[in-house]
């Protein structure tokens, strides 16, 4: 280490203040509710090699740690003082940009002609063109349908705006003024960071600044390795599923094999499904990418709360992500709903680790972050207004030492909700309900987090609702260590009215004025045997209105008495009911749908199909997978499949 510990801690505090300060600039100067209210933005400082050496934990979303600016910066060389680069293109940046609405801006910081750092920011833009208002449709079949692709280009050259770039950005959005406001907020943020970094250099000198960057990265790596060393060596496998690809009811399988060896850990995604025909693909170009292992990053940060949060944390991690799989699609695969893959990978990686350290891993959270967007016509100028109604998360998973968080899943990156008052001020909509849902949390010694319900009324003719990332409407968030699975999500139109109807998963919805859209999120799975939860905790839950009397008895074995309107625990009745129950259920509770699916499509069969599909060109794999599944359904009629049975089905299709 080149920097003494006391000085390094001082420098770390300065860097954190600069990076967080960038975020506060964006919060205060951005235009759109999704940025200034829901906080779908991030900021960081990077080394001259493009690695993030400081990343704020409390400002903006938390899931971009470990990405690299290197390839995007190389595309714009030579970089000069005053340059600011903009990009949203995943394939040419090694996944720095993960889908087109996420627009990234970064500025090189020079001292006497020497590059010493980068200031970086991203925001999720309201619209970058594409099939639908807000750009993202789960049913897009290639990236060109998803909007304007911005390869790394200079938004500013030597401090002056690049007018040509501004012109084509404005010409390719349904809401150019909103985008421009958010772009300017990012520019203000990186300019502010540059000024503060130069002040730091003038105070401590170039060498001290450069040395402390390297030392913070090394410290992050060293402390991450210490956490990983506490995981027993071995190879641990797990898989989880997305409901479907919007074109059929065949699930999408994400499988991972986690190998731990000392302070190193390797994640192998070779048995994951091939890239799909729709927008559920995650671009990594086969490189290490934080979206592949965000669950592991969060485990490390939680295990060592004082670790420097920077890209050094990812150095002990290696990945195997074959081309043509969901986690390394080939161009021009659509990628708009890539965060759905990220959230399920969160569950899959932690599920594998749960086999090694069950007491250190939470049950599955809601596993979705459905961004519900309302677009209404602007009759005065012929354009459209857009606003995020809510980022619909759901309950977090229960843990060995606490209940899951209500209404938010730690896999979501900690997007904030949009205040109803702000939403109704920005767009014509009337919110009827936004509340926690009773009887949804997965039961457990430590229950899962409760789901959310959102009901909103359409006010204008020609309104369009989109909701990317809606998941867990089929496969429950799993319970762990004897805990029960969380509830599923659902969508309804006009609940409680004569024209009430169930609605499929939303892609693009064209409701009429007066229609009420009702969205229920999934809830978190429970951790531990529910019959070991204290009766007093169950009573408190019933009093809160989030658990019914019948559910208290059925799920927790707690009998409650009512006298003069007051509830109390029937201690004798509770002891009698609990004594009649088995001591411990299954370690995992996947819910009926997944259990039934895997009784036919066993892990052995799914792994074999994944291996066979990799023999084909990537663009043919999803179609062949569907053909194999269709033939299995028609010929084998719910018979459990072996690897040999899959080989025979495959041979019939050659």
User: Among the listed ranges 224-233, 235-244, 271-280, 628-637, which one has the minimum average pLDDT value?
Assistant: 628-637
Express each pLDDT in 331-389 by its tens digit. 999 999 998 999 999 999 999 999 999 999 999 999 998 889 999 998 787 778 888 89
pLDDT higher than 90, residue 134? no
Q: What percent of the chain has pLDDT over 90?
A: 83
Distance CA 500, CA 279 (A): 30
User: By the 8 A CB rule, do 148 and 100 touch?
Assistant: yes
Q: At what angle do helices 176-204 and 5-29 cross, to 10 degrees?
A: 160
Distance CA 171, CA 129 (A): 9
Average pLDDT of the chain, as a whole number:
94
Q: What percent of the chain has pLDDT over 70?
A: 100
pLDDT higher than 80, residue 459? yes
Express each pLDDT in 185-218 by its tens digit. 999 999 999 999 999 999 999 999 999 999 999 9
pLDDT higher than 80, residue 412? no
Distance CA 540, CA 534 (A): 10
Q: How confident is the model at residue 494 (pLDDT cuts 50, 70, 90)?
A: very high
**pTM for the predicted model, two decimal places:** 0.94
Q: How confident is the model at residue 396 (pLDDT cuts 50, 70, 90)?
A: very high
Return the residue matching tokens 């084509």: 168
Residue 332, preceding bond cis, omega within 30 degrees? yes
Express each pLDDT in 552-602 by its tens digit. 999 999 999 988 889 999 999 999 999 988 776 789 999 999 999 999 999
Bridge partners of 87, per DSSP, are 104
Bridge partners of 455, per DSSP, are 433, 518
Distance CA 198, CA 216 (A): 19
Strands, DSSP E only, in 510-569?
Answer: 516-520, 560-563, 566-569
Task: Return the pLDDT at 126.
Answer: 84
Express each pLDDT in 138-189 by its tens digit. 889 999 999 999 999 999 999 999 999 999 999 998 888 888 999 999 999 9
User: By the 8 A CB rule, do 612 and 627 touch?
Assistant: no
- Identify the DSSP state of 446: B
Six token digits for residue 306: 């004082």
Residue 586 CB neighbour total at 10 angstroms: 10
Task: Return the pLDDT at 469.
Answer: 87
User: By the 8 A CB rule, do 30 and 179 touch?
Assistant: no
Express each pLDDT in 223-246 by its tens digit. 999 999 999 999 999 999 999 999
Q: How confident is the model at residue 440 (pLDDT cuts 50, 70, 90)?
A: very high
Which is more confidently placed, 563 or 532? 532
Q: Read off the pLDDT of each residue in 462-478 and give the average, rounded to a whole number.
A: 94
Task: Return the pLDDT at 132.
Answer: 86
Q: What is the DSSP string of 481-511?
A: TTPPPPPPPEEEESTTSTT-EEEPPPSEE-P
Distance CA 293, CA 308 (A): 18
Q: Read off the pLDDT of each residue in 441-467 and give the average, rounded to a whole number.
A: 96
Distance CA 457, CA 513 (A): 8
Which is more confidently placed, 261 or 136? 261
Task: Return the pLDDT at 46.
Answer: 98
């Amino acid at each position: 280490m080149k920097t003494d510990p006391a000085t390094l801690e001082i420098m770390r505090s300065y860097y954190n203040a600069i990076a967080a300060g960038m975020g506060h600039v964006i919060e205060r100067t951005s235009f759109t509710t999704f940025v200034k209210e829901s906080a779908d933005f991030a900021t960081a400082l990077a080394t001259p090699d493009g690695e993030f050496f400081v990343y704020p934990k409390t400002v903006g979303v938390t899931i971009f740690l470990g990405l690299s600016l290197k390839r995007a910066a190389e595309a714009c060389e030579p970089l000069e003082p005053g340059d600011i680069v903009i990009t949203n293109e995943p394939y040419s940046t090694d996944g720095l940009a993960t889908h087109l609405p996420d627009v990234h801006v970064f500025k090189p910081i020079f001292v006497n002609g020497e590059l010493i750092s980068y200031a970086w920011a991203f925001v999720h833009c309201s619209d970058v063109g594409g099939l639908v208002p807000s750009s993202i449709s789960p049913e897009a079949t290639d990236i060109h349908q998803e909007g304007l692709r911005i390869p790394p280009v200079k938004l500013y050259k030597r401090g002056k705006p690049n007018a040509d770039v501004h012109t084509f950005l404005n010409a390719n959005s349904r809401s150019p003024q909103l985008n421009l406001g958010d772009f300017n907020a990012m520019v203000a943020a990186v300019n502010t960071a540059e000024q503060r970094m130069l002040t730091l250099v003038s105070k401590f000198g170039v060498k001290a600044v450069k040395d402390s960057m390297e030392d913070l990265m090394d410290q992050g790596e060293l402390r991450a390795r210490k956490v990983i060393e506490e995981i027993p060596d071995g190879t641990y496998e797990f898989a989880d599923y997305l409901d479907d690809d919007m074109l059929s009811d065949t699930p999408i399988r994400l499988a991972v094999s986690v190998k731990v060896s000392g302070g190193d850990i390797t994640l192998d995604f070779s048995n994951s499904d091939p890239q799909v025909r729709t927008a559920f693909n995650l671009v990594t170009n086969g490189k290490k990418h934080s979206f592949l292992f965000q669950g592991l990053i969060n485990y490390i940060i939680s295990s060592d709360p004082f670790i420097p949060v920077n890209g050094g944390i990812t150095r002990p991690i290696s990945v195997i992500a074959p081309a043509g799989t969901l986690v390394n699609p080939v161009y021009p695969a659509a990628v708009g709903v890539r965060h759905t893959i990220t959230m399920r990978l969160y569950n899959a990686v932690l599920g594998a680790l749960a086999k090694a350290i069950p007491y250190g891993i939470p049950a599955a959270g809601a596993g979705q972050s459905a961004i519900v967007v309302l677009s209404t016509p602007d009759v005065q100028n012929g354009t459209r207004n857009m606003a995020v109604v809510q980022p619909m998360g759901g309950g977090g998973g229960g843990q060995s030492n606490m209940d899951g968080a209500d209404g938010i899943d730690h896999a979501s990156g900690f997007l904030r909700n949009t205040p109803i008052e702000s939403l109704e001020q920005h767009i014509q909509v009337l919110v009827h309900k936004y509340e926690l849902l009773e009887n949804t949390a997965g039961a457990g010694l430590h229950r899962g987090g409760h789901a959310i319900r959102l009901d909103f009324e359409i006010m204008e003719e020609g309104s369009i609702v989109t909701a990317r990332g809606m998941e867990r409407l089929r496969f429950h968030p799993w319970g762990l260590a004897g805990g029960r699975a969380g509830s599923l999500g659902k969508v309804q139109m006009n609940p409680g009215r004569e024209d009430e109807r169930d609605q499929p998963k939303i892609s693009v919805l064209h409701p009429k004025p007066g229609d009420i859209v009702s969205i229920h999120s999934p809830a978190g799975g429970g951790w531990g045997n529910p019959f070991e939860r204290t009766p007093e905790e169950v009573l408190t839950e019933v009093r809160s209105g989030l658990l019914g009397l019948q559910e208290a008895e059925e799920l927790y074995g707690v009998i409650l008495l009512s006298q003069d309107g007051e509830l109390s625990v029937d201690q004798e009745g509770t002891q009698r009911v609990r004594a009649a129950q088995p001591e411990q259920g299954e370690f995992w509770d996947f819910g009926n749908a997944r259990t039934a699916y895997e009784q036919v499509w066993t892990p052995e069969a799914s792994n074999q199909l994944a291996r066979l599909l990799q023999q084909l060109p990537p663009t043919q794999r999803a179609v062949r997978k569907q053909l194999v599944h269709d033939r299995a359904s028609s010929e084998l009629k719910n018979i459990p499949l072996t690897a040999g049975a899959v080989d025979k089905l495959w041979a019939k299709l050659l």
